[in-house]
Chains A and B, each alone.
Chain A
Amino acid sequence: MLKAFPLKLELRGAPSQTMTYLSPLLAIVLTMILGALLFLLLGKDPVAALKVFLIDPFSGKRAISELLLKSVPLILCALGLTVCFRASIWNIGAEGQFTVGALCAGAMLVWLDVPGHGISGTVGLILMICAGVLGGAFWASITALLRDRFNANEILVSLMLTYVAQLLLMYAVNGPLKDPNGMNFPQSKVFSDEFMLPMLIAGTRLHVGFVVTIVAALIMTVFVTRSLRGFSLTVGGVAPHAARYAGFSSRNALWMSLLISGGFAGLAGAFEIAGPIGQLLPSVSPGYGFAAIIVAFIGRLHPIGAVFGGLIMSLLYLGGELAQSRLGLPSAITGVFQGMLLFLLLACDTLIDYRLRWKQQA
């Protein structure tokens, strides 16, 4: 099959500058073409459908604020995963780390948000954020410990721990953290306004967490590209023998990348709880930790790339929602469309390192 294919890939001498610009554009154009075909087959006006999917989420201040808001947990988790994946530590459990971070942050707020406790909102917020970061980092440290001491593969451990984390949250909102005045529903009390994150733009839900996210991306860029620590992580991932020879400890790399990754996911969880959700519920994430894995790769494992990857994913989610309410498309189409765009983004990236050539007949 592969031999019959008329085109072949030829390695370029150096990565193509133009293609680095063009590749995402090419992917978007191809998605639009394939998407238009898909919508035609479904009996919808392709132009209208594409507009709803790709343009409507940008229409207006409110819409853009929602777009940015949705990208915050995606970007934060992806930033942490970028560090991990560069070091070839396959942390698939960001979802669990997010959940535990949210749980710890929520627990802290449940403890603090009692009238007469005397803690100010700002102090409370800071404590809550610390709780979230530490919670996420702690959860990731279990994976690190098991890999370090027992050689247990981190893919398995981090994934299993995700399910454990979700069940832990369910247990907590059904029991110890349940709102005593909540008619016995499994959820915590709604947190008071003073403990909620301040808004960035009044009248929207976009909170200061967005700024923190961007700052974090910038700091992480410096860390990854300029610091020795960051460099050692990357080398450890790409050429482990060379890394060992240079004295970079793989054990340090393991712990550092998992703790950072867990901390970021936990921070994202804390932001969700003190932001758009405002309480603890039996489920606090619609899969951010998993989506962040794709975001990290679309971002080509670079922190700034993660920001853009997060925005793209956010666009796809919101577009899909609008497609349901404005076009009557089933939610299943969102998944198909998302998958398609992701395939094309990944495929077009190949053209950076390779060029397509017609095969010479031998």
Chain B
Amino acid sequence: MGISRRASIAMLATLAAASLIGCGKKEEAAPAPAPAAAAAPAPAKADPLKVAFVYVGPVGDAGWTFAHDAGRKEVDAKFGDKVKTTFIENVPESAADAERVFRQLATDGNKLIFGTSFGYMEAMLKVAKEFPDVKFEHATGYKTADNMAQYDVRTYEGAYLAGVVAGKMSKSGKLGVVGSVPIPEVIRNIDAFTLGARSINPKATTRVVWVNKWFDPGKEREAATTLIGQGVDVLMQNTDSAAVVQTAQEKGVYAIGWDSDMTSFGPKAHLAASMNKWGVYYTARVQAVLDGSWKTGFSWNGLKENGIDLGAFNAAVPDDVKALVETRKKGIADGSAPIWKGPIKDNTGKEVVAKDAVANDDFLHGIKFYVEGVDGKVPG
């Protein structure tokens, strides 16, 4: 049949093309000396430190990745010529590609590599083993190595403060959360939000709807609409777009901005925003590498370290509420009024934190329950 003959000729043609291109094998010599030169502790005068960022989404998501990239830009601004940053976006969470990307970046002479999705953890561990003189940083995971650290931001502190504001501003006492993917961090945030709201209004309830994606503006809007239809009048989200705030504005209810200031998307609806400040951590770590003081570990920046903040208050938020938030912020930052102080019950009535006990970080990492006030069953 004509097809098979054509195809076999096509195969020869492409083979010819590939072998022409494959003459680039001579390039094999080129990449090898380059990392070797960069590996030597930079005695050369202005050999900038190469720092790389690997993003799971596009910088254009105006959410999670956008915030990380803002942090990267802070590094650029602060260190100027001493540092050269690069980033790769849209590296899927399905990890097979991530491993290759990390290895490529390490081979290309990057000395500090940040991976901003929990799905990258195993891939990063593997590559970290092969490149002991490169420092790796993984966000939102739990495994470390001598040259691989973990970092995260205490998003739950922002969620708690948001809950305080929500508790004060809600008329119906019904709160809602547009949830992304049911990972421990999001469960924790829902709990913190509810604790904050209930510290103001002990009868407040929270409903959760899961979009099962990190970001999908259309679905987020649909989720928000159904919550509003059920009587919710303050919305929080753990998804990454401003659609929830927009929907709240359209329907005349309130919402909390997430990851960054979302006021422009809902001037009347946007009560406040919980903002991640990755720049603080990034600049600190780059400085540590430049100083030679970098060490592995678990970093969990919160209000105290200026890793997160609740701000961008709406004019409608009364001064006494703002003042209350400031007081609570101080209390959390200096430890005098911790969020997770008992008694805390889960929503089946079981006590999970005893009276006057304060939950530690390990406990927080392992949260698998909804606190009292959250409707429904914890997923998984």
Contacts and interface: CB of A to CB of B under 8 A. Distances in A.
Interface of A: 15, 17, 20-25, 28, 51, 54-56, 58-62, 66, 70, 167, 170, 174-175, 178, 183-187, 190, 205, 221, 225, 272, 275-279, 281-286, 299-302, 304-305, 307-308, 311-312, 317-318, 321-322, 324-326, 328, 330-332, 352
A307 B97 CA distance: 20
Contacts of A175: 379-380
B24 A66 contact: no
B297 interface: no
A331 to B, nearest CB: 5
A281 B97 CA distance: 13
A275 B95 CA distance: 11
B7 A277 contact: no
A331 B184 contact: no
A114 B342 CA distance: 38
Contacts of A54: 21
B264 interface: no
A60 to B, nearest CB: 4
A56 B13 contact: no
B293 interface: no
Contacts of A56: 24, 27
Interface of A is mostly: helix
B12 interface: yes
Contacts of A283: 92-94, 119
Contacts of A186: 181-183, 380
A163 B371 CA distance: 32
B216 interface: no
Contacts of B118: 185
B212 A321 contact: no
Interface in B99-113: 99-101, 103-105, 107-108
A190 B143 CA distance: 13
Contacts of A58: 21-22, 24-25, 27
A284 B94 contact: yes
B139 to A, nearest CB: 13
Taking each of A55, A299, A301, which has the highest tally of chain B beta carbons within 10 Å of its own beta carbon? A55
Contact of A60 (B16, B31, B92, B366): B31
Given A276-B99, A301-B3, A331-B90, 9 more contacts: A56-B24, A56-B27, A184-B183, A187-B119, A225-B4, A277-B95, A281-B93, A284-B94, A300-B6
A314 to B, nearest CB: 11
Contacts of A167: 212
B8 A304 contact: yes
B7 A17 contact: no
A305 B7 contact: yes
Contacts of A62: 103, 107
B116 to A, nearest CB: 14
Nearest to B88: A324
B6 A20 contact: yes
A285 B218 CA distance: 23
A307 B14 CA distance: 11
Nearest to B95: A277
Contact of A321 (B11, B52, B104, B365): B104
Contacts of B320: none
Listed from nearest, the 8 A-B pairs whose CB atoms lie closest are: A59-B27, A302-B7, A276-B96, A55-B24, A286-B92, A174-B380, A21-B13, A20-B9
B122 interface: yes
B319 interface: no
A300 B3 contact: yes
Interface of B: 1-4, 6-18, 21-22, 24-25, 27-28, 30-31, 52, 58-59, 86-97, 99-101, 103-105, 107-108, 118-119, 122, 141-142, 181-184, 212, 365-368, 379-380
B96 A272 contact: yes
Nearest to A166: B212
B16 to A, nearest CB: 7
A311 B18 contact: yes
A324 B59 CA distance: 13
Contact of B379 (A174, A272, A332): A174
A275 B380 CA distance: 27
Contacts of B30: 59
Contacts of A183: 142, 184, 365-366
A26 B99 CA distance: 34
A88 to B, nearest CB: 15
Given A299-B7, A302-B4, A352-B6, A325 B88 contact: yes
A80 to B, nearest CB: 17
A58 B1 CA distance: 34
A53 B107 CA distance: 17
A301 to B, nearest CB: 7
A281 B88 CA distance: 21
A60 B1 CA distance: 38
A311 B99 CA distance: 19
A312 B21 CA distance: 12
17 contacts: A17-B9, A55-B27, A58-B27, A60-B25, A60-B28, A62-B107, A178-B380, A185-B141, A186-B380, A221-B4, A272-B96, A285-B94, A302-B10, A308-B15, A318-B100, A325-B104, A326-B108
A66 B100 contact: yes
A325 B105 CA distance: 7
Given A170-B212, A282-B93, A21 B184 contact: no
A55 B21 contact: yes
B132 to A, nearest CB: 16
Contacts of A286: 92, 94, 97
A59 B25 contact: yes
B21 A21 contact: no
B88 A60 contact: no
